[in-house]
Structure 1
Amino acid sequence: MQTVEAAGLPIGDEYPSRIMGVLNVSDESPYEPSVFADATDAAAYVDDLIAEDADIVDIGLESANKRFAVLSADEERERLDTAIETVERVEGEAVFSIETRYHEVAAAALDANFDMVNDVCGFADPELPQVCEARDAAVVKMASPPDLERPGALADVDEIYDALAEDLTDKTIIDPAFGGWSEDKTLEDDRETFRRLSEFRAIGHPMLVSINRKNFLGDVVGRETDDRLPASLAATALAVERGADVIRTHDVAATRDAALIGDALGDRAALR
């Protein structure tokens, strides 16, 4: 398994699973506690995430929910100013990731205060991985067809695997893309992907998993979003055991504990 360094933070089998907290500067984002328009308030929230032991903070510029129109690169750039100012005001230490699908936005973020890129369109913009490679930056590749307006539309596990295995940089982290990114993807598709998580290890790159309070978990336990934390924590421990190297979450402190259990007591410990 290849180790990827993100601004000096090693990610891979030989290291504990890393926790990625989330901040959104988009009004459309569904998790309201993470949404901020003011950089000072946003920085305070990020410092709270860091105090809860977030290794990485991912800042989203727009919601990828299929119900919303996709922003242009220029529209994302306008929101990037708030994200950059936020990072400048943060007092704690973390790796900062920008979530985008455009190489222009990725370049501007990496040239400012950001350390890595979280691409929600699976390198649909072919210049995005080139931008990251030129700056020696880690980049997350989410499973998606090569379409800037249709992130995460892949449902079949084999198709997800094939999409993730293509055109990787040396510092790519793969993301199988859980959640309702398209009308074609069902809860059973997500469950099947989760059951087969360990298969993605064969790609040879670290894996990010974003399952926090997802619908496929809520469907199993019969809980709405606000009551899904226990299900998310159980799934986190399983995901880490099956090879997840980064867990993206809004519930940083609790998720860290669940990941530590998966690391210490699961089969993953045998990898070290």
Structure 2
Amino acid sequence: MPNPTLFPSFTHTLRSPHGRLLDLRQPQIMGILNLTPDSFYPGSRLSPTDETALLHRAEAMLTAGAAALDVGGYSSRPGAEDIAPAEELRRLLPAIEVLRREFPVAFISVDTFRAAVAAEAVAAGADLVNDIGGGTLDADMLATVARLRVPYCLMHLRGNPQTMRTLTHYDEDLVLTILRFFRDQLARLRQANGGQPHPDVLLDPGFGFAKNAPQNFELLRRLPELAPLGHGLLVGLSRKAMVHKFLNLSPDTALNGTTALHAWALRGGARLLRVHDVPEARQVVRLYEMVG
């Protein structure tokens, strides 16, 4: 059995240092706001200088039922260009500031693996740090999250966006490897937090990150095996290659397949779905709640 002091029971509420709450007693939706020119799904791209388009999409997502907005300035698609922290901040900070001004009660996540970027984003009003590296891509991230007392999403990844496609071989069972990764990173986060468990941690198994299509489908089937860690699961499947490439489609025609996999993710214990298409994902959650 997991050590209860290392893996506390998930409280189902994330508490922002700014006082905002994200209630995950029922599964919720996180809308994706990509401030990048090269995200894998062209329909998700927003220009950092187009404030009107950003606010329009954010408002549409919140109106459709998004409980959180995830703002990213660094594309993490396989083989993405590595941009400097200054460029990432140039894209992120004005967007977070305008979103905070126009939607003061919205729960805003910053999608970054860089500790300095995370700190500036939280200072600008971000409520959660969504780290694709799970603390492995920046040695200061875990200490920064602990110092800021900010909710944190810890994702499983091997390598980085530029190398992860070459790192899909696992010597041991895939899910066991992910469980051990989470165990070790949670222990490091606890150490950074003065020996106390960091409150408000989500885990993301990292679909598509250093995992090929068969591995992604295996992981989705076995999602309930992550439950003993005692943390809520964030799942990002929206329009990814495991949907569109498997079905011989493009990302812009992969909504139906995404919807089907969202249902499986909810069945497997997902508490937060990170999506491009909020209305459709919200429908899945509502129907799941009725069936479940």
Task: Name the TM tier (shorter chain).
Answer: 0.7 to 0.9
Show the counterpart of 1:114.
Answer: 126
AA matched with 1:27: P
> Aligned equivalents of 2:37 and 2:160: distance in 1?
24
Show the counterpart of 1:31.
Answer: 41
Compared CA separation, residues 235 and 254, structure 1 to 2 (3 A) = same
> Aligned equivalents of 1:89 and 1:170: distance in 2?
27
Question: 1:172 and 2:172 equivalent?
Answer: no
Show the counterpart of 1:269.
Answer: none
Deviates further, 84-93 or 119-128: 84-93
What TM-score results when the alignment is normalised by the length of structure 2?
A: 0.81
Q: Structure 2 regions of 5+ residues with no counterpart?
A: 1-8, 187-197
Deviation digits for residues 161-186 of structure 1, max 9, x if unmatched?
A: 2212223232210000112x34xx31
Deviation digits for residues 197-237 of structure 1, max 9, x if unmatched?
A: 00011111010000112222335545432332222222212
> Aligned equivalents of 2:28 and 2:72: distance in 1?
18
Contact 2:76-2:161 at 8 Å conserved across structures:
no
Aligned pair count reads 261
Contact 2:118-2:129 at 8 Å conserved across structures:
yes
AA matched with 2:176: D
Show the counterpart of 1:130.
Answer: 143
Q: 2:155 aligns with which of 142, 167, 170?
A: 142
Determine helix, strand or coil for the equivalent of 1:75: helix
> Aligned equivalents of 2:154 and 2:163: distance in 1?
14
AA matched with 1:86: V
AA matched with 2:107: V
Contact 2:22-2:67 at 8 Å conserved across structures:
no
Compared CA separation, residues 257 and 138, structure 1 to 2 (3 A) = same
Contact 1:24-1:35 at 8 Å conserved across structures:
yes
Contact 1:17-1:246 at 8 Å conserved across structures:
yes
What TM-score results when the alignment is normalised by the length of structure 1?
A: 0.86
AA matched with 2:109: S
Identical aligned pairs, as a percentage?
27
Show the 5 A alignment for 1:191-270.
Answer: 191-219=217-245, 221-266=247-292
Show the counterpart of 1:5.
Answer: 14
Determine helix, strand or coil for the equivalent of 2:185: coil
AA matched with 1:162: R
Contact 1:46-1:90 at 8 Å conserved across structures:
no
